Every structure is written in structure tokens, then in C-alpha cells.
């Protein structure tokens, strides 16, 4: 297949994955859905810290989703491997927020 088709397929898949991550992050952040987080990490969080933990974790997942969505949209229109830069930036910042939430509230 040509590069055009591959970039369109990759772009659609990344955009879909980004939408899923954005929906999960929004549910965790705004709706305080701790059941969407791995139980190993959420069981050790104290009751008074659950809102802050959900805010940090949800915003980290939301940032990753935005990075995936932007990369997917850009990959459809621009045929360059530099389209994956937003995805990598989103992953780095999102994972950093998740690690910060685990280290800060998981006792």
C-alpha cells in the first residue's frame, strides 16, 4: 500500500485511541470514577485524597488522549513521521502526572 493509505489508517487509529483516552480521563477526573483505575493503585489511596488523586490521574490520561488525537488528525493531512511529536509529548506529560499521583497519594 502507498504511504498515503498507511498514514490515513494510522491517523484514524490514533484519533480513535485519543478519543477513548479523553473519555476515560474525563470520567476519572470530573466524575471521580476510581473504578476505572487499576485497583492496586486506587486501593491504597486514603478517602480524603481520592478527589486529588482522581484529578491528577484523570488529567494525565486526558493529556495523553489529546496527544494521540492531535497526532491522528495531523497524520491524516501531513505525511511525515514528525506527526508523532504531539503523541510523544502527551505521553511524557501524561505518564509524569500518573507517576506523580501514584507517588504522592499511594501510601
Separation of alpha carbons 93 and 2, rounded Å: 33
Report the distance separating Cα 22 and Cα 17, nearest Å. Answer: 9
DSSP structural state of residue 79? -
pTM here?
Answer: 0.88
pLDDT digits (tens, 9 = 90+) for 34-79: 888 877 767 788 888 889 999 999 999 999 999 999 999 998 888 7
Number of domains in the chain: 1
Range of the domain at 30: 3-105
Amino acid at each position: 500500500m502507498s504511504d498515503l493509505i498507511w498514514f490515513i489508517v494510522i491517523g484514524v487509529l490514533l484519533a480513535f485511541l485519543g478519543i477513548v483516552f479523553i473519555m476515560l480521563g474525563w470520567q476519572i477526573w470530573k466524575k471521580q470514577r476510581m473504578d476505572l483505575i487499576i485497583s492496586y493503585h486506587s486501593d491504597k489511596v486514603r478517602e480524603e485524597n481520592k478527589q486529588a488523586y482522581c484529578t491528577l490521574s484523570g488529567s494525565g490520561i486526558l493529556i495523553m488522549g489529546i496527544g494521540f488525537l492531535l497526532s491522528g488528525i495531523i497524520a491524516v493531512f501531513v505525511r511525515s513521521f514528525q506527526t508523532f511529536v504531539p503523541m510523544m509529548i502527551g505521553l511524557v506529560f501524561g505518564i509524569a502526572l500518573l507517576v506523580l499521583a501514584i507517588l504522592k497519594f499511594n501510601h
